[in-house]
Amino acid sequence: MRIVVLVSGTGSNLQAVIDAVADGTLNVTIAAVGADRTGTGGVRRAAEAGIGTFEVDFRQYADRAEWNRALTRAVAAHEPDYVVSSGFMRILDQHFLDRFPDRYLNTHPALLPSFPGAHGVRDALAYGVKVTGCTVMIADAGVDTGPILAQAPVAVLPGDTEETLHERIKVEERRLLIETLAQLAASTDAGSAAGA
């Protein structure tokens, strides 16, 4: 199974996927890593691992639709079976989703449908929930909506800050993402073997 990973930030989830592929835990090919801006930590991590990268800088495009089309072209050039968001903080439009139907995987640091959006950890903490967690889902055109594939709970501890809680959530998020990718790879590869 071939994947393209999209990042906007540090890409620590991406690093976990790179490590799992390197140590043989996860049988996928990371065809490329792409970003919506220049100079992300995620692209740097990919380059260090010898993985091809591309940057489709949002600010260089006249409007969102044009940027979406350029990103879709850049991703499609690598012919992925799945596209994986590793903290990719932009919503992709119907043009992209139609090109990769049910093939865009997203993770979120909260138990959806609670606390969607860019501040899932902060919002859960501010609400005062005792348990939050993470979600892996198939993304659609909404903000952190789409069919849920897997979730894991994480307890909120007394004295937690957004950073301490997010770090513990990310431990579960990485595990869940790798497990989900392994399951998808098993069915994708079995499907192509049967069709071969």
Q: Which is nearer to ligand GAR, 175 or 189 (CB)?
A: 175
Other CB atoms closer than 10 Å to residue 196's CB: what's the count? 5
Q: Is 158 helix (H, G, I), strand (E, B) or coil?
A: coil
68 lies in the site for ligand GAR, by CB under 6 A: no
Report, in Å, the least distance between residue 4 CB and ligand GAR.
15
Indicate the burial class of 38 (C-beta count within 10 angstroms; 0-12, 13-18, 19 or more): exposed
Contact status, residue 146 vs residue 106, Cβ threshold 8 Å: yes
Contact region with ligand GAR (CB under 6 A), list: 10-18, 50-58, 96-104, 156-164: 10-18
CA distances to 117, 120, 155 from 127, in Å: 15, 11, 14
**9 binding ligand GAR? (CB under 6 A):** yes
Q: Is 108 in the site for ligand GAR (CB under 6 A)?
A: yes
Q: Is 78 a catalytic residue?
A: no
Residue 11: what residue type? G
Q: Which residue is nearest to ligand GAR (CB)?
A: 87
What string marks each residue from 124 to 143 as x (binds ligand GAR by CB under 6 A) or -? --------------------
Structure tokens at 166: 């997010």
Q: Which of 68, 72, 86, 132 binds ligand GAR (CB under 6 A)?
A: 86
CB of residue 10 to ligand GAR, shortest distance in Å: 4
Rounded CA gap, 101 and 20, in Å? 26
Number of residues that bind ligand GAR (CB under 6 A): 16
Q: Check 78, 108, 119, 166 and give the catalytic one.
A: 108
Q: Cβ of 182: how many Cβ atoms within 10 Å?
A: 15
Question: From the list 30, 46, 173, 184, which residue makes contact with ligand GAR (rule: CB under 6 A)?
Answer: 173
Give the three-class secondary structure for 110: coil
Binding site for ligand GAR (CB under 6 A): 9-14, 86-87, 107-109, 118, 120, 144, 170, 173
